Structure 1
Amino acid sequence: MNKWLTNNSSNSQDQQSATLAAKDLLAHAMTPVYRVINSVLVVAVFMVVGLWLSGNGTNAGAFDLARILVPDEARHIVWSNGFGMLEQYKAANDSPTQMADSEIAAVIYSNKLNPIPASFNSAKQQTVALLMPSVGQIQVKSISHLADRIPASKVDPQALDSNLMSSIQNQRAVADFFEKKYKLDRTKIEEYVSKTILVAKEVKIDPVLLLAVISVESNFNPNTKSHAGAEGLMQVMTSVHKDKYELFGGTTEAVKPEVNIRVGAYILKYLIATAGSLRNGLKYYVGAANAENDGGYADKVMAERNRLISLCQTGSTNRVTLNGKDLRS
């Protein structure tokens, strides 16, 4: 009897050992399969999220997904290749307009700088009232000699100055808006708004548009820097635009608002002229030139721009008159 119990117990233990060994063997054999399944699931999740974020369903291409997952790298690809990359999306012809575009591209990406005027840009040369007048006293070289090479006829009228920011009242309203939105120091926001308006006059572009771009790009934090190298209020790719920073003393000056806004405004104006519209120019600016869409970037900038326009127009309802004529606020 005891012998039978002993044998039965031994058989039971052997069966348990065999079962455990079989499970271990199966688990070991299935490990590569589990890894493959997990990898597929991870990739699938990224693809689904990427396609969803792109807002274009299954029409989103590989560049769309890459741009959404690594937007800074996408911007770097577009900017570092110069605007030659964008030319492939334009009809090739020998018209005078095309020749003008080529000339602009050479100015922007040539390693040899054109002779730089020795004159400085100052408040005395500007006919705009500023919320912080002292900003106009800062001695900064003008970038207008480059910006003026961009044919005005090529720039979308929406990107041109609407004169809304020529009113101190509107400047103050915009400063109030950004101060509350980003909880900024009042002095700093007045400085940034004033510098943006000054640069906009110099480059001949809408200051409301520049303010909207700065808001979306950096939240008005001049120290913002992406891991791909975009810096400053306008998030300019410093390594790509070394030549333009040489105009202001080198890349060490890249994060200075008065420098960063000038370079960024010049690039944005060129892209708008090259792309043929304000929206396409914004799409190129964010690095989505050959993507189906820009992940909503242009919509964000346009929405912010429209908020500022509405804010200024609301403030203009209380009109001031002179000799019976309305004066635009």
Structure 2
Amino acid sequence: MSKCISSYSSDFQGEQLEASSSSALLANAMVPVYRLLNGLLVITVFLLVGLWLSGNGTNAGAFDFARILVPDEARQVVWQNGFGMLDQYKDQTPQAAADKDIAAVIYNKGATSNNTKIPLGIAKHQTVALLMPSVAHTQVKPISALADQIPTSKVDPQALDSKLLISVQNQRSVADFFEQKYKLDRAKIEEYVSNTVLIAKEVNIDPILLLAVISVESNFNPLTKSQAGAEGLMQVMTSIHKEKYALYGGASDAIKPEVNIRIGAYILKYLIATSGSLRNGLKFYVGAGNTDTDGGYVDKVMSERNRLIELCKGSTLQANSGRKLILNSKNVRS
């Protein structure tokens, strides 16, 4: 009887050792699988975070489901974080250094649907250099909610921000140009240029392009009204775009620069994206999309745009030369 018990015990221990050995072998075999699963998990997390952050700026394709993952406000806070634009003023000429004091304007792209602002303590805000900073404090609802629905990938790169008006110095040069060209009140032209730079940032379109369109459309006269019913600086067809003006309390404010430029900029970006190119978008903007000729409109806008680009590049080169001169004189004195 004891032999039987001893034999049974020995067999049981053998089975335990065999089971333990099998578990160890299985565990070792599963190590690569676990590593693969962990790697896939890490990649998935990165993809989700990427979609989360990218979802704020587009409504296209796979990015759409980023809006399901987290509330819009939360994504906007993260999306805004760290976007500063004033580093360009470091070690620049005395005039540019002085500009820094008037350029630190808060631009909150993350305004909520009821036009409330995200508090400064929650996240860093974008700063936009403006010739007239006070325009940033005008109580007007941003149009970014509409503009962000237009995929940037569909917009002709020529229509995207050229970064030539990120400095107050270049904005001043453009204001000088239009002041002399149209004999405008200096305060008004600074207001229009600053509004255009701010709104271009909001819509994600080139401010130089918008200024060229304003120049050709209205000669910077906000009271201009065509026989067809186009109004304001951007000569928007008020009757056709009533639903867009509803965002701003109705068409009664159609000629206000801060409203008119926003509506016009959004329409222009939409037409460029849907027509396939900058030139086609401009042709549709003037209402000549389905005709053989636009009366030279597109060439006029492009010519004005190119003139402003050269003006800004020349101003930038002059500023860089002045900075080198100052640095060289410092080296000589030392």
Partner of 1:117: 113
User: Residue 120 of structure 1 contacts residue 140 of structure 1 at CA under 8 Å; is this kept in 2?
Assistant: no
- RMSD (Å), alpha carbons: 2.0
Partner of 1:28: none
Amino acid at match of 2:144: S
Which ranges of 4 or more aligned residues in structure 1 deviate by more than 4 Å?
none
Partner of 1:238: 238
Query: Deviation per CA, 1:180-231, whole angstroms, max 9, x where unpaired?
Result: 0000000000000000000000000000000000000000000001121100
Amino acid at match of 1:240: I
What is the aligned-residue identity percentage? 71
**Equivalent-residue separation in structure 2 for 1:118 and 1:293 (angstroms):** 43
Gaps spanning 5+ residues in structure 2: where? 1-59, 65-111, 328-334
Tell me whether 1:178 sits opposite 2:178 in the alignment: yes
Amino acid at match of 1:117: S
Q: Select the structure with the greater relative contact order (CA < 8 A; seq sep ≥ 6).
A: 1
Partner of 1:138: 138
**Equivalent-residue separation in structure 1 for 2:207 and 2:309 (angstroms):** 11
Instruction: Assess, with a 3 A threshold, how the Cα gap between structure 1 residues 238 and 121 changes in structure 2: closer, same or farther.
Output: farther
Partner of 1:65: none
Q: TM-score, normalised by structure 1?
A: 0.61
Partner of 1:305: 305
Instruction: Assess, with a 3 A threshold, how the Cα gap between structure 1 residues 177 and 249 changes in structure 2: closer, same or farther.
Output: same
Partner of 1:29: none
Q: Secondary structure at the match of 2:317?
A: coil
**Equivalent-residue separation in structure 1 for 2:185 and 2:116 (angstroms):** 29
**Equivalent-residue separation in structure 1 for 2:116 and 2:207 (angstroms):** 21
Partner of 1:3: none
Partner of 2:261: 261
Gaps spanning 5+ residues in structure 1: where? 1-95, 101-115, 325-329
Instruction: Assess, with a 3 A threshold, how the Cα gap between structure 1 residues 196 and 120 changes in structure 2: closer, same or farther.
Output: farther
Q: Secondary structure at the match of 1:127?
A: strand
**Equivalent-residue separation in structure 2 for 1:227 and 1:171 (angstroms):** 32
User: Residue 120 of structure 1 contacts residue 139 of structure 1 at CA under 8 Å; is this kept in 2?
Assistant: no
User: Residue 126 of structure 1 contacts residue 198 of structure 1 at CA under 8 Å; is this kept in 2?
Assistant: no
**Equivalent-residue separation in structure 2 for 1:139 and 1:120 (angstroms):** 10
Amino acid at match of 2:114: A
- How far did 1:121 drift? 7.3
How many residue pairs get aligned? The number is: 209
After superposition, where does 1:1-329 map in structure 2 within 5 Å? 117-120=113-116, 126-318=126-318, 319=320, 320=323
